[in-house]
Amino acid sequence: MNDKYLENETKARQYLARFSEEILGHVIGGETVPGKSSASMENRTPIDGTVLNSTAMGGAAEIDKAVTAATGAFTDWRDISGAARRQLLHNIADAIEARAEEISLVESMDTGQAIRYMGKAAIRGAENFRFFADRAPSARDGHHLPAVGQLNYTQRQPLGPVGVITPWNTPFMLSTWKIAPALAAGCTVVHKPAEWSPLTATLLAEIAHEARLPAG
């Protein structure tokens, strides 16, 4: 093993240490909550099979609670101006960039993917938020399509909470592809990450909270 690999592994273990101290819960309504049952599962790194953390199992009760929280937050989030949503999503992008090393190293250990690839994926996640942030002010712009004898127009409006399911292999970046446009449009989100790689979903929730995204 070369020195750079050992350096990265040491940093990764430092970032991961806090996850081994307690069972990873569900983030609902801005708070971390345990599952209704006491069941949990071990999350092992594909790199060497060692246990990274234990994750609380979820089911219908947790989904219902998350949907209730997202529904409760929807009206306020929908009514925030597009300009304000734009700023909040750029704040999230700033925080992702600031924590890109942490995200890439944690995700590399969680998924087994190469660090050089995960580093690019983390930055792409920030770019996704910036792309959709800049479209938030015009997210509800409709179109008037003139035609002889007809009145054609479109309306855009947020419909409510959006359910998002993301895969295990590049979870952070792929979650931003789904979450950022939903938030930009004025929808709230219920995110179910893959149980085999849940850690960076927790990091994204922390980042959203630190960026002052409303709870829910």
Task: Write down the residue that tokens 């712009």 correspond to.
Answer: 141
Least confident of 44-53, 124-133, 152-161, 176-185: 152-161
Q: Is 216 among the domain residues?
A: no
Give residue-wise pLDDT tens across range 51-101: 999 999 999 999 999 999 999 999 999 999 999 999 999 999 999 999 999
pLDDT at position 144 over 80? no
Q: Which of 46, 55, 171 is nearest to 107 (CA)?
A: 171
Q: Which of 130, 117, 106, 129 is nearest to 178 (CA)?
A: 129
Q: How confident is the model at residue 1 (pLDDT cuts 50, 70, 90)?
A: low
**Cα torsion angle, 38, 15, 178, 186, sign:** positive
Q: What is the pLDDT of residue 155?
A: 83
**C-alpha 166 chain-centroid distance:** 9
Q: Residue 67 is which amino acid? A: V
Q: Is 149 among the domain residues?
A: yes
Tell me which of 2 and 86 has the higher pLDDT.
86
Q: Residue 20 is which amino acid? A: S
Q: What is the mean pLDDT of residues 144-171?
A: 89
Q: What is the mean pLDDT of residues 105-127?
A: 94
Q: Is 93 among the domain residues?
A: yes
| 52 neighbors 199 (Cβ within 8 angstroms) | yes
pLDDT at position 14 over 90? yes
Tell me which of 3 and 85 has the higher pLDDT.
85
Least confident of 28-32, 137-141, 169-173: 137-141
Q: How many domains are there within the chain?
A: 1
Q: Which domain holds residue 29?
A: 3-211
Q: Is 108 among the domain residues?
A: yes
Q: Residue 172 is which amino acid? A: F
pLDDT at position 153 over 90? no
CATH code at position 81: 3.40.605.10
